[in-house]
Amino acid sequence: NAGVTQTPKFQVLKTGQSMTLQCAQDMNHNSMYWYRQDPGMGLRLIYYSASEGTTDKGEVPNGYNVSRLNKREFSLRLESAAPSQTSVYFCASSELHRANTGELFFGEGSRLTVL
Amino acid sequence: SQQGEEDPQALSIQEGENATMNCSYKTSINNLQWYRQNSGRGLVHLILIRSNEREKHSGRLRVTLDTSKKSSSLLITASRAADTASYFCATVWAQKLVFGQGTRLTINP
């Protein structure tokens, strides 16, 4: 089982460039999430999607957009990258919305550097 | 952190010793989860404890929950080098799962 797959694993961008992080899960989960992890900050939720066709903002949504393409795929787009968006990005999925009882399954992360 | 905070931030012990990490949170919860993150990897779910449970075991892991103190602890017994990782607690806040900053555990051979 692949679980949660993220691409790319590494990316270097220049300020102002755009890019999309891709995420796919094969566990038939309804809910998907994008987090960013910075040193000393833990994980912060950027956006989440409770189900296909719905998305909601998390703690730090500014500068990002998301698309829930179908039940399997949830992409994160940076329209105009800034150095402050240098981070490790994690996609996750869960069976139950809002993770009230469901555990999250994480991808391996996408390491983004913005110069 | 808006919800959970782990303590200590870093812990270094000898192989075979027990490791205890604590998590404090601010609001009422339905459940609390613990995750492990090996260096350069994604997070892996370890255990979930519900608000009506006081203690839960899974292999060498023991989790306790004290809702009156809004705190939880994760105990790893008979530590191994492979337990070296960061450990995070997670709770629901504003209908979202939020994580603390984690405890970085190092097991010395």
Q: Which of B87, B93, B96, B103 to mutate to test the interface with A (most CBs of A within 10 A)?
A: B96
**Residues B19/B11, Cβ–Cβ less than 8 Å:** yes
A42 and B100 within 8 Å at the Cβ level: the answer is: yes
Strands B103-108 and B10-14, by their bridges, are parallel
**Residues B4/B23, Cβ–Cβ less than 8 Å:** yes
CA angle B98, B100, B105 (to 5 degrees): 140
DSSP assignment string, A13-59 = E-TT--EEEEEEESS--SEEEEEEEETTTEEEEEEEESSTT--EE-S
pLDDT of residue A106: 96
Give contacts of A106 with chain B, Cβ < 8 Å: 42-44
Taking phi first (over 0 means left), then psi (-120 to 50 degrees means alpha), and beta for anything else, what does residue A2 get?
A: alpha
Q: Which residues of chain A have pLDDT under 70?
A: 1, 96-101
A42 and B97 within 8 Å at the Cβ level: the answer is: no
pLDDT of residue B98: 84
pLDDT of residue A101: 59
B43 and A43 within 8 Å at the Cβ level: the answer is: yes
Give contacts of A41 with chain B, Cβ < 8 Å: 101
pLDDT of residue B3: 66
**Residues B70/B79, Cβ–Cβ less than 8 Å:** no
Give the whole-angstrom CA distance, residue A16 versus residue A32.
27
A45 and B97 within 8 Å at the Cβ level: the answer is: yes
Using a CB–CB cut-off of 8 Å, the residues of B that contact A are 1-2, 30-31, 33, 35, 40-45, 48, 50, 88, 90, 92, 95-102
pLDDT of residue A55: 94
pLDDT of residue A98: 53
Give the whole-angstrom CA distance, residue A70 versus residue B61.
37
Taking phi first (over 0 means left), then psi (-120 to 50 degrees means alpha), and beta for anything else, what does residue B2 get?
A: alpha
pLDDT of residue B92: 78
Give the whole-angstrom CA distance, residue A26 versus residue B108.
37
pLDDT of residue A1: 62
Residues 6+ away with beta carbon under 8 Å from A28: A71
DSSP secondary structure letter of residue B17: S
A106 and B43 within 8 Å at the Cβ level: the answer is: yes
pLDDT of residue A7: 97
pLDDT tens for the 109 residues of chain B, in order: 456 788 899 999 999 999 999 999 988 888 899 999 999 999 999 999 999 999 999 999 999 999 999 999 999 999 999 999 999 999 877 667 888 889 999 999 9
